[in-house]
Structure 1
Amino acid sequence: MSLRVLGMMSGTSLDAIDVVLVDLRRDEREETVLEAELLYVGEEPWPEETRAALLAVLPPAPADVAAWNRLHAAVGEGFAAAAGRVLARHGGADLLAVHGQTLHHDVGPGGVVASTLQIGDPARLVAATGVPVLHDLRSADVAAGGQGAPLAPILDQLLLGDRGHPTAVLNIGGITNVTLVGAGDVIAGDLGPGNALLDAAVHAATGASCDVDAELARSGAVDVAALEVLLGDPFYARPLPRSTGREHFDTAYLRRMLGEDALAALALPDLLATLVELTAVSIARGLAPLGAAEVIVSGGGIRNPLLRERLAARLAPVPLRDADALGIPADGKEALLMALLGWLSAHGLPGTLERGDGTAHTGAHRPVVLGSLTPPHALRELPVDPRPVRRLVLRRA
């Protein structure tokens, strides 16, 4: 029995809502293989007013419960409008799997995640589309003692776990995360800032959302002293699995780490060149102990040509390859992940991977089924299906 799922994802960069409409079914000949027919991969814009309001409440900005309450409704409306447009153009869906927008990911001093909050009123999506919604996809893992992140490893394992050598699957969004597959138990976690600090610095100085094609960063020079200070952040010494977010790498991060005077003395191009190098070095150092034979990359960070060049240089001789070259939609990979989690949860299967000791790849005590369903009586005709899935095969419509 097939399930048509619309996966929807908005990350820490808030650049757009990524969407993937996919038809998922078990292979009739090999029950542990899940087939995914990609019907549409794209992105939908955020309403500018909603995007601006979200940026205004992210740490370290103060916000009260009224602001978060209003944003919960506005984000739900934004996702609902995006879903409505996609479904009108490309056909209906049986389920919407929606990440929501992360407002806060509470990581304590020892790296333990106390709570995580993704907003976006699912009832508004149901009202607008008539399709049930799976949402709140991180909380169950946190409740089981996990980091709630990253969630990508189950997709990475199903797509790339059989390549025959250790493979690092890298996603460079606002925050960079990695999955190592093909080397026994999956290893995963957040590595540090991807685009978050770069975009924040550009926005603060110019009002633009990013440094297009790294034009400013290319005209600058790396400040070695500042780079070493930033690399001294204790976050990088925490073992995997670990997670982070804009609560840590926020708009005030550079002032805290470098000091007002040193930050003010950096010309914008030099600052951006330094931050590009920070991302490249922190990724390379994070990957070095994993022994990967190749690195496969996706996410918005690969659109930054200077970052790609510096990362390739730091990783050499380990090759850096685009996910697109392997038939994986690099720009829609996280939305595809949401759709996969929707299918798994709808069939009663965990959305995290079990390690050899019975724990989950996130550090949780055990793998758990992820998400909450609105309305609660939806999808009752789908039986719980305990058969594991070992591989995911992508096909284009």
Structure 2
Amino acid sequence: MTPSPTPPCCREYAALSRRGLLAGALTVAGASTAFGSAVVRTSAAAATPASSVLVVLSLRGAADGLSLVVPHADPVYYSARPRIAVPADRLLVKDAQFGLHPELGPLVPLWQAGSLAAVHATGLPAPNRSHFAAMEEVEDANPGSTTRVGWLNRLIGTDAGRSPLQGFNLGNGTVPASLYGPEPVMAAGNLDSVSIAGEDQWDHGERRRSLRTLWDADTSSLGRAMQATFASVDGFDPVRATSATPAHGASYPDGDLGRAMAAVARVIRGDVGVEVITVDQGEWDMHSDLGTVERGRMVRNAGELASAVAAFFTDLGQLADTVTLVALSEFGRRVAENANMGLDHGYGNVMFVAGAGVRGGAYYGTWPGLQGDVDSDLLVTTDYRSVLAEVVAARFGASTSTVFPGFRRERVGVMSGQ
């Protein structure tokens, strides 16, 4: 078997580094109204503590769900992956059908405590093997719509508040499609740099006073945007005042995801009314060198994922009772390994749900069985929106028909009361 180069479809994607996904400065996002590094659409309401917080962790690049949650009882899995399959005797928290990759060990306490679950064979209604097209389709969650509004922006819109602090992207200043839309949101890569451009140690309030003199009485859209910027930056002060040192003995892995999840926990501990937070983990596009159970890219990424999420919930302490985390990817990967000890673009995948309201310690979804030829996919038996809709209904009491227009969810059972 002769190894092949990175497919043309992925060369642009491969150019995105993890640091590119996770670095940046303040953006208060909305339309094209801008001042310095801040952009907003509407004026901000005063921040109030959030009773429920949703963290959406996107595994960018199409993570292989068949490696993360292994269908050890399906013989096709082992025949289709002679070199990269995870041995059944190495799996964690096995039931009769599934088990977790051994690098997910840091998550086992959450699983055993009933705070972590997996839903297998999830995905889009129809295959979409383009990274960026699939990401946008997943995050819009409104097939056929010509209006570019993400499902998380619609979720924020079901609340009476209109503060950019309600939705927050820990990233490079470009909000994901899930947050894009008419409701104001924020994005930052460095929490300590959330400020009005130009405010530094040599400025003692003069810049802010001058700007307020210029804009406070302005009733135009630009004036309202500037007033929202002031309110958003000021409202974020408690986060900047919150210690960056993890609490409760939490220890994050050294890497982009560890640093990002530590920042997410700090935002939540700052208690400024953030309800929805998005964060990315990159480098899941494993066409080659996925590796064995001992070493390779899957070992590295899965280990960082598990350690970062486990540290995050430890860091939160009692605040974990208000936080639900969902981890998902744009699509899955093929059943059979390729010549490069990797996997090409597929279809169905696994989703993880952790934290408040989760009926954890179990695997959910209807298993379709695997086919072993080179072009076979894991089929989708649970529309990913059904999982998200249960989270939305259970944690926010929001109208799922508003958040997911035209979609009729099927019961998954992963969330209490659903």
TM-score, length of structure 2 as denominator length: 0.24
Q: Which structure shows the higher strand fraction?
A: 1
User: Which has more radius of gyration?
Assistant: 2
Q: Which structure shows the higher helix fraction?
A: 1
TM-score, length of structure 1 as denominator length: 0.25
